[in-house]
Amino acid sequence: MTSNGGAAGVDQITFYGDTASGNCYKVRLLASLLDLQYHWQHIDILKGESKTPEFLAMNPTGAIPVMQLDNGYCLPESNAILFYLGQDSDYWPDDKETRALVLGWMFFEQYSHEPYVAVARFINKFLGLPEERKAEYESKQLGGHRALGTMNSQLETSGGFMCSEHPSIADIALFAYTHVADEGGFDLSSYPAIVSWIKRIQSLPGFKSMDDFKHIDSST
Ligand SMILES: N[C@@H](CCC(=O)N[C@@H](CS)C(=O)NCC(=O)O)C(=O)O
The reported pTM is 0.95
Instruction: Report the pLDDT value the prediction gives residue 7, as an integer from 0 to 100.
Output: 43
Q: Which atom of ligand 1 is nearest to the CA of 63?
A: 12
Instruction: Report the pLDDT value the prediction gives residue 131, as an integer from 0 to 100.
Output: 98
Taking CA atoms only, the protein residue closest to ligand 1 atom 10 is: 21
Does residue 77 have its Cβ closer than 6 Å to ligand 1? yes
Instruction: Report the pLDDT value the prediction gives residue 217, as an integer from 0 to 100.
Output: 86
User: Could you tell me the distance, in angstroms and rounded to a whole number, from the CA of residue 8 to the centre of ligand 1?
Assistant: 29
Instruction: Report the pLDDT value the prediction gives residue 218, as an integer from 0 to 100.
Output: 83
What is the distance between the alpha carbons of residues 211 and 209, in angstroms, rounded to a whole number?
A: 5
User: Could you tell me the distance, in angstroms and rounded to a whole number, from the CA of residue 24 to the centre of ligand 1?
Assistant: 9
Q: Are 177 and 22 in contact (CB under 8 A)?
A: yes
Secondary structure letter of residue 40 according to DSSP = E
Does residue 78 have its Cβ closer than 6 Å to ligand 1? yes
Q: Are 185 and 137 in contact (CB under 8 A)?
A: yes
Secondary structure letter of residue 93 according to DSSP = -
- pLDDT (tens digit, 0 to 9) for every residue of the chain, 220 residues total? 665 544 444 579 999 999 899 999 999 999 999 999 999 999 999 899 999 999 999 999 999 999 999 999 999 999 999 999 999 999 999 999 999 999 999 999 999 999 999 999 999 999 999 999 999 999 999 999 999 999 999 999 999 999 999 999 999 999 999 999 999 999 999 999 999 999 999 999 999 999 999 998 888 6
Pocket test of ligand 1: the residue of 78, 110, 177 to mutate, having most ligand atoms within 8 Å of its CB, is 78
For each of the domains in the chain, give its residue range(s) and CATH number, in order of start: 2-90+206-218 (3.40.30.10), 96-202 (1.20.1050.10)
Pocket test of ligand 1: the residue of 64, 75, 121, 125 to mutate, having most ligand atoms within 8 Å of its CB, is 64
